[in-house]
Amino acid sequence: MAERKLAQEMTYSEITRLIDFAILEPYWDEEPVKGYRHQAVQYECALAAMNPTHLEFGADITVGTKTKFGVSSDFPFGQGTTESRILEAESYCKSGVVQEIDFVSRIWMAKSGRWADYTADLKALADICKSYGVLSKVIIESDCLTLDEVRRATVAAADAGMDFVKTSTGYVKGVDRVGPTPEVIKAMIEAAEGRIHVKASSVIRNKAKVIELVNLGVERMGIGCTSVPVVLGVSPEEYQQVKDQPFGEA
């Protein structure tokens, strides 16, 4: 990975180019979803990340902007069959408006040591995305894994041809939800060996955490739509006034 500035030396706009703006709550009606989608563009985030049910009105606002449009697939548990996951992914790719897809890995296969099957499933999804020119990301759900499993899952994602490996869905249950700790991010970056990009997600709720993750070397951060104004410390309107200023200290 090319050397880059520390987060404190970056501008606000350089920081927001690393943010996937996640709009994923399943119970919101149409209006807040549209409103947050507009915020993703106002902040010039890398991606407006939405549930695929919103394809009908989700992508139009990002056209001609710095923000791409992406959806989640087999989210949040990754429990579909490989065949159903392929069909789902292809349907989103065929839409012509989806530029990135976030998949959920077969966590139970990782926990069972079935790494060949785990990798084969991801490769099938990565191959579909590549055939349509769509960027693929896979969530390994790091809160459920040991550090050794985190490393092996990262290598598997790279072997499968995924573009990004990502820590968490934010929806895991039954374990402590700590998100992208420094230990986990370091393990992923080391295991990636430059073959796959690393994305941090879940439990990113303040500026200090953003600075920590950027300085560790992550290349994307998935941040919930209600948390983005908090971690940036500015509203969408205020962002336009400060976007070329240094992000600064926490």
Residue type, 236: P
Query: Which token pair is 8?
Result: 């404190």
Quickly count: other Cβ atoms within 10 Å of residue 233's Cβ: 15
Q: Taken in order 143, 75, 86, 91, is the CA torsion positive or negative?
A: negative
Spell out the per-residue pLDDT of the chain, length 250, in tens.
457 899 999 999 999 999 999 999 999 999 999 999 999 999 999 999 999 998 887 778 899 999 999 999 999 999 999 999 999 999 999 999 999 999 999 999 999 999 999 999 999 999 999 999 999 999 999 999 999 999 999 999 999 999 999 999 999 988 989 999 999 999 999 999 999 999 999 999 999 999 999 999 999 999 999 999 999 999 999 999 999 999 999 8
Decide if 202 contacts 222 (C-beta within 8 A). yes
Q: Which helix (H) or strand (E) holds 119?
A: helix 115-132
What is the DSSP code (8-state) at residue 62?
G
- In the CATH scheme, what is the code of domain 7-242? 3.20.20.70
Decide if 22 contacts 28 (C-beta within 8 A). no
Decide if 66 contacts 100 (C-beta within 8 A). no
The pLDDT score that the predictor gives to residue 2 is 57
Q: pTM of the prediction?
A: 0.96
Query: Domain coordinates of the chain in residue numbers?
Result: 7-242
Helix (H, G, I), strand (E, B) or coil at 32: helix
Residue type, 110: A
The pLDDT score that the predictor gives to residue 250 is 86
Taking Cα atoms as reference points, which of 3, 1, 50, 12 lies closest to residue 210?
12
Quickly count: other Cβ atoms within 10 Å of residue 61's Cβ: 16
Backbone angles phi, psi at 137, to 5 degrees: -130, 145
The pLDDT score that the predictor gives to residue 42 is 97
Packing angle of the helix pair 147-160, 182-192 (nearest 10 deg): 40
The pLDDT score that the predictor gives to residue 55 is 86
